[in-house]
């Protein structure tokens, strides 16, 4: 019997090397999913970046109230304004228009 459950192609990466990859379920409710399947992860990255920035805040490397241009180097203040890291953590605009 073929599964119609939504699937996922998990992988374990250690020291920049894939050590295991697998797949379960289906890609579209019908076609089997394979370990080489690719998905658009979209907004999931916002949570990952937010967690990493907060780790930098805890370590003292980032101050949420300093202008983000201090951390991003060539950030275009003329176009994007002097947005702080705290504002960027709200994820209300795309990274290109912080």
Where along the chain do its domains lie? 1-39, 44-97
Closest CA to 53 of 43, 62, 45, 44: 62
Question: What's this model's pTM, rounded to 2 decimal places?
Answer: 0.51
What's 33's DSSP letter?
P
**Residue 16 has which token pair?**
């920049």
- Residue-wise pLDDT for 45-54, tens only, equals 888 888 998 9
**Residue 11 has which token pair?**
């992988």
**Residue 84 has which token pair?**
């702080």
- Residue-wise pLDDT for 32-78, tens only, equals 888 888 877 777 788 888 899 899 999 999 998 887 777 877 666 55
């Amino acid at each position: 019997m073929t599964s119609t459950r939504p699937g996922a192609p998990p992988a374990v990466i250690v020291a920049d090397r894939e050590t295991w990859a697998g797949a379960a379920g289906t890609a579209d409710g019908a076609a089997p999913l394979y370990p080489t399947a690719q998905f658009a992860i979209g907004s999931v990255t916002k949570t990952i970046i937010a967690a990493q920035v907060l780790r930098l805040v805890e370590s003292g490397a980032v101050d949420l109230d300093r202008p983000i241009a201090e951390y991003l180097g060539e950030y275009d203040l003329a176009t994007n304004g002097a947005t702080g890291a705290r504002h960027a953590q709200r994820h209300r605009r795309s990274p290109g228009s912080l």
